[in-house]
């Protein structure tokens, strides 16, 4: 049986690492940056523009997300993004990271939508460590990227990113830690899809 796990998150709570670990533990494909490339290709956005932005993401003020570029606020780009996500879910069991996947798969029966969050203080510390930034710069980055992603999600879906609607499991990562969160999600997935 094919199933999809979508992961939405607040910036800085370690969600990408969690998503990768969930995919590895469940033995399924992890979709992240490849969704950007494919959606860009379908929308006619040159992939080099995206990759250049992704490269810049490794340094402060250079985090690429759909929410940070008006290029993706077009009907054509949103339709391409939805198409790529649905194709991935139709093709194989997978973890789909971000990109409004929970919304685009809202009519899929074999889908579980996870939202990961943490207190802002914890997320600022995490980003400060990962990006080697002082706390003030890390706070600025967290707030900026959260705002961009929230605005984009709201624009596409008409919903607030952290609302309960459409979510099946919401986890405070600071409470359970990376591995504890992975364990919780995998347990929920196995229970939901009778995988044991």
pLDDT at 62: 37
The verdict on pTM exceeding 0.75 is: yes
In this predicted model, what pLDDT tens digit does every residue of 102-135 receive, in sequence order?
A: 999 999 999 999 999 999 999 999 999 999 999 9
Report the number of distinct structural domains present in the chain: 1
Least confident of 34-48, 119-133, 138-152: 34-48
91 CB-near residues (< 8 Å, 6+ apart): none
Task: Give the domain range for residue 159.
Answer: 4-192
In this predicted model, what pLDDT tens digit does every residue of 52-92 receive, in sequence order?
A: 444 433 433 333 344 444 555 678 888 888 898 999 999 99
Q: Residue 40 pLDDT more than 90?
A: no
Mean of the pLDDT values across residues 148-162?
90
d(CA 70, CA 111): 29
Query: How does DSSP assign the chain, residue by residue?
Result: ---EEEEEE-TTSSHHHHHHHHHHHHT-EEESHHHHHHHHHHHT--HHHHHHHHHHTTSTT----GGG-GGGSSHHHHHHHHHHHHHHHHHS-EEEESTTHHHHTTT-SSEEEEEEE--HHHHHHHHHHHHT--HHHHHHHHHHHHHHHHHHHHHHHSS-TT-STT-SEEEEHHHHHHHHHHHHHHHHHHHHTT--
CATH number reported for the structural domain that contains residue 177 in this entry: 3.40.50.300
């Amino acid at each position: 049986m094919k199933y999809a796990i979508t992961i939405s998150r607040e910036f800085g709570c370690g969600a990408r690492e969690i998503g990768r670990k969930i995919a590895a533990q469940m033995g399924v494909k992890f979709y992240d940056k490849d969704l950007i490339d494919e959606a860009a290709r379908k929308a006619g956005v040159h992939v080099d523009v995206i990759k250049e932005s992704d490269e810049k993401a490794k340094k402060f003020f250079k985090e690429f997300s759909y929410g940070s570029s008006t290029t993706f606020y077009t009907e054509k780009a949103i339709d391409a993004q939805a198409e790529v996500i649905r194709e991935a879910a139709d093709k194989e069991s997978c973890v789909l990271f971000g990109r409004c996947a929970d919304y685009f798969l809202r009519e899929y029966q074999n889908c579980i939508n996870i939202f990961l969050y943490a207190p802002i203080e914890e997320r600022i510390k995490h980003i400060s460590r990962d990006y080697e930034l002082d706390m003030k710069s890390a706070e600025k980055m967290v707030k900026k990227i959260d705002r961009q992603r929230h605005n984009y999600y709201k624009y596409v879906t008409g919903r607030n990113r952290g609302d309960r609607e459409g979510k099946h499991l919401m986890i405070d990562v600071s409470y359970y830690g990376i591995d504890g969160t992975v364990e919780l999600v995998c347990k929920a997935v196995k229970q939901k899809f009778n995988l044991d």
